C-alpha cells in the first residue's frame, strides 16, 4: 500500500475540511505549491490534488493546479470538478499522472467508458459515500445507490483505480471505515484508494491489511496526528 497526501484547494489556498463542509475549515495554508513541495521533500512519491471550488462550481484553482504540476517531480493525480474531456487532456499534457473524475462519471457511464478507453489505466473514479450511500456534486447530492454496487459496476472499465471516500468520517480523525473499505476491495477488480478518517500509523496498517492499494491522508498529516516522514518511508510500495 502507498500513502498519498491530499492537497485540497480553495480560494487559492490549501485547506482541510471536516466532513466536506465549507463551514468547518480546520486548516488553511496560503501557498499550496510550498505545501506540495514539503510533502515531496518528506518522501512522498504521489500527491492527490483536488480543486474544491471547481467541484462545487463556485470557482477555479486551475492555475494553482498547473503550478503544482510544474513544481514537483513526484506523480500527481488531480480531481475536482473535472467534467470535460478537454480538461483531462490538458492535465495529462501538463504532466498529471492520473485524473480523478466523480459526478459526471457516475451519472454518465457512457462518458466514463469513453474517456477510460481513451486514457486506459489513467482515470480514477471517485466513489464518495455517506455511510454506504453514493453522494455526488461536491458531496451535496445524495443518491439511492449503494457504493459497493457502484464499485462492482465499474469493474469492466479500464480504470487506474476507484477512490472510496467515507464522507461520514472525513477530516474527523476518528479512524477509517474499515468494513466499508474491506467490502470495496472485495468487490473491485481495480486498486482501491481509501480516503477519510485516518488518524495515524495503526489506521494505515489496518487499511493495508484490508487490501487497500492506496490511502489518501489529509487532516492527520496537517495536524501532526500522523508523522508524514514515517508514513512516507513505510508506505511507498
Burial of 93 (0-12, 13-18, 19+ CB in 10 A): exposed
CA gap 204, 12 in Å, rounded: 30
Whether residue 183 lies in the annotated active site = no
Q: In angstroms, rounded to a whole number, what is the distance separating the alpha carbons of residues 35 and 193?
A: 22
The pLDDT of residue 97 is: 98
In 119-142, which positions are buried (b, 16+ CB within 10 angstroms) versus exposed (e)? beebbbbbbbbbebebbbbbbeee
pLDDT surpasses 90 at 224: yes
Residues 36-56 pLDDT 10s: 999 999 999 999 999 999 998
Q: Tell me 193's DSSP state.
A: E
Identify the active-site residue in 51, 53, 128, 203: 128
What residue segments make up the domains of the chain, in order of their start? 2-234
pLDDT band for 101, please (50, 70, 90 cuts): very high
Q: Is 128 a catalytic residue?
A: yes
Identify the CATH assignment for 2-234 out of 3.40.50.261, 3.40.50.2000, 3.20.20.70, 3.40.50.720. Answer: 3.20.20.70
Helix (H) or strand (E) holding 233: helix 228-234
Q: Measured on CA atoms in the order 198, 200, 202, 205, is the torsion positive or negative?
A: positive
Region 43-70 average pLDDT: 96
Report in angstroms the alpha-carbon separations of 52 from 21, 78, 111, 184, 216. Answer: 11, 11, 22, 25, 16
Q: Is the dihedral of CA 18, 20, 25, 27 positive or negative?
A: positive
Nearest CA-CA partner of 106 in 156, 147, 53, 49: 147
pLDDT of 25: 74
| Whole-prediction pTM | 0.95
pLDDT mean across residues, the chain: 94
Amino acid at each position: 500500500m502507498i500513502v498519498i497526501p491530499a492537497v485540497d484547494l480553495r480560494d487559492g489556498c490549501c485547506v482541510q475540511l471536516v466532513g466536506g463542509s465549507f463551514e468547518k475549515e480546520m486548516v488553511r495554508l496560503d501557498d499550496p505549491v510550498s505545501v506540495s513541495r514539503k510533502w515531496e521533500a518528506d518522501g512522498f512519491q504521489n500527491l492527490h490534488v483536488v480543486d474544491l471550488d471547481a467541484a462545487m462550481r463556485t470557482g477555479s484553482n486551475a492555475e494553482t493546479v498547473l503550478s503544482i504540476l510544474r513544481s514537483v517531480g513526484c506523480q500527481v493525480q488531480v480531481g475536482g470538478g473535472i467534467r470535460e474531456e478537454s480538461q483531462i487532456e490538458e492535465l495529462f499534457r501538463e504532466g498529471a499522472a492520473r485524473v480523478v473524475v466523480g459526478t459526471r462519471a457516475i451519472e454518465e457511464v457512457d462518458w466514463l467508458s469513453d474517456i477510460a478507453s481513451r486514457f486506459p489505466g489513467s482515470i480514477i473514479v471517485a466513489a464518495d459515500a455517506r455511510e454506504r450511500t453514493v453522494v455526488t456534486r461536491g458531496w451535496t447530492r445524495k443518491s439511492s445507490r449503494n457504493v459497493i454496487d457502484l464499485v462492482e459496476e465499474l469493474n469492466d472499465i479500464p480504470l487506474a483505480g476507484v477512490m472510496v471516500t467515507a464522507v461520514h468520517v472525513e477530516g474527523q480523525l476518528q479512524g477509517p471505515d474499515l468494513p466499508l473499505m474491506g467490502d470495496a476491495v472485495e468487490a473491485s477488480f481495480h486498486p482501491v484508494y481509501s480516503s477519510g478518517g485516518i488518524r495515524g500509523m495503526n489506521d494505515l496498517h489496518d487499511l493495508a491489511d484490508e487490501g487497500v492499494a492506496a490511502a489518501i491522508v489529509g487532516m492527520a498529516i496537517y495536524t501532526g496526528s500522523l508523522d508524514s516522514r514515517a508514513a512516507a518511508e513505510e508506505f511507498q510500495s
